[in-house]
Structure 1
Amino acid sequence: MYSENQRIIITGGPGSGKSTLLNSLRAKGYPTAAEAGRAIIRDQVAIGGNALPWKDREAFAGLMLNWELRSWHEAAQSETPFFFDRGLPDIVGYLTLCNLPVPPHMKRATELFRYAHTVFIAPPWEDIYVQDTERKQSFGEAVQTYHAMAEAYGRCGYNLIRLPLCGPEERAEIILSSLYDRHHHGEPS
């Protein structure tokens, strides 16, 4: 086992290579939790729902909270690191970015449901940034999102490690080496 809390978050702005990195970790046999936002957007569009970032942001944040809590619980039985494409503090960052209040129950969720202390953050990367059906933000908005997430994780008491601009395999190795090094040296993760 790597640590008591093996829930490892990879966060950052949209289009920074998070999902590709998670796919690489999954291919290496590690369990992963998909990003809430994209899945919720797909489902809401399919059913004609209103919980969308361009319609009802509070409802969208509420569905993200439910998704992230379920993912958090799903990871409880893992005997290896379990990687998350974003986590509960991302919802705080999202609401802050939208100039919306963070409801007390969402703040409480970030306090009660903790992840590994070290969070990996993917910086904005213009060369790979692509807009699509679910990702409507401009690159400038992606940069703002990155900063909002970094601030949210800092406020929630996490230590951020910025990932370099390199391929998913190299990023995966950096993360896995970092986890192994901390475990091997008895440092908290």
Structure 2
Amino acid sequence: MSESLIVITGGPGAGKSTLLDHLHRHHGLNVVEEGGRAIIREQLARGGDALPWANRGAFCREMFEHALTTRARALDAGGQWLFDRGLPDVLGYARLCGLAPPEGLERAAREQRYGSTVFLAPAWEAIYRNDAERRQDFAEAQRTAAVMAEVYEDLGYRVLELPLGSLEDRATFILARCPV
């Protein structure tokens, strides 16, 4: 059942969201948007402080809740789903920031599994851009990708690095390795 939940992880600005949008639009796959971006937009709209530059602990807890909710919804809906990050990414975020993980996160990351193969979008300087929701510098993007790979490997996932190539090359790489 969890094999139908495929995660694409990596550093910020590595093309994950663009790739998922492409896989949805051109290949009809179900996708789950990155929780962090959705939370930032929601917090900014309502004047909240659960933001990575304001209250990292609250932001981490919000991402944990989002990951739990979206995973459960995808399982309930059935079919194959591609995720822009999963529960282990929240654990990786806590490690990167030196935060104590929210209660239950480590257990959830171990027990609430995704497909055994996880795709890692490596930091890619040629496409990296900052925006209103992405304020990290490229060095932090590189550290993030490394920590995410480490967290998923520690949890027993097989991590495959996406090629630095065209959108279609990256999509083909994933489609060739996904259980469809």
Q: Find the counterpart in structure 2 of residue 187 from structure 1.
A: none
- Where structure 2 has 5 or more consecutive residues not aligned to the other structure, the ranges are none
Q: Find the counterpart in structure 1 of residue 49 from structure 2.
A: 50
- What is the TM-score normalised by the length of structure 1? 0.90
Indicate conservation of the 8 Å contact 2:7/2:83, yes or no.
yes
Q: Find the counterpart in structure 1 of residue 86 from structure 2.
A: 87
Measured after TM superposition, the shift of residue 167 of structure 1 is 1.7
Q: Distance in 2 between matches of 1:16 and 1:42?
A: 20
Q: Find the counterpart in structure 2 of residue 24 from structure 1.
A: 22
Aligned residue pairs: how many?
179
- Where structure 1 has 5 or more consecutive residues not aligned to the other structure, the ranges are 184-189
Cα deviation digits, residues 144-163 of structure 1 (max 9, x gap):
11111111111222110000
- Tell me: CA distance 1:7–1:45, structure 2 relative to 1, closer, same or farther (3 Å): same
Identity across matched positions, percent: 47
Measured after TM superposition, the shift of residue 112 of structure 1 is 2.2
Q: Distance in 2 between matches of 1:101 and 1:73?
A: 24
The alignment partner of 2:37 has SS state of helix
Indicate conservation of the 8 Å contact 2:61/2:102, yes or no.
no
Q: Find the counterpart in structure 1 of residue 115 from structure 2.
A: 116
Indicate conservation of the 8 Å contact 2:96/2:147, yes or no.
yes
Indicate conservation of the 8 Å contact 1:65/1:106, yes or no.
yes
Q: 2:69 aligned with 1:34, yes or no? A: no
Measured after TM superposition, the shift of residue 4 of structure 1 is 5.7
Indicate conservation of the 8 Å contact 1:30/1:80, yes or no.
no
Measured after TM superposition, the shift of residue 36 of structure 1 is 0.3
- What is the TM-score normalised by the length of structure 2? 0.94
Q: 2:24 aligned with 1:15, yes or no? A: no
Kindly report structure 1 stretches of 4+ aligned residues shifted beyond 6 Å: none
Matches within 5 A, 1:139-178: 139-178=138-177
The alignment partner of 1:127 has SS state of coil
Cα deviation digits, residues 84-106 of structure 1 (max 9, x gap):
00000001110100111224411
Q: Distance in 1 between matches of 2:51 and 2:2?
A: 35
RMSD: 1.4
- Tell me: CA distance 1:4–1:137, structure 2 relative to 1, closer, same or farther (3 Å): closer
Q: Distance in 2 between matches of 1:177 and 1:76?
A: 22
Q: Distance in 2 between matches of 1:21 and 1:39?
A: 17
Measured after TM superposition, the shift of residue 78 of structure 1 is 4.8
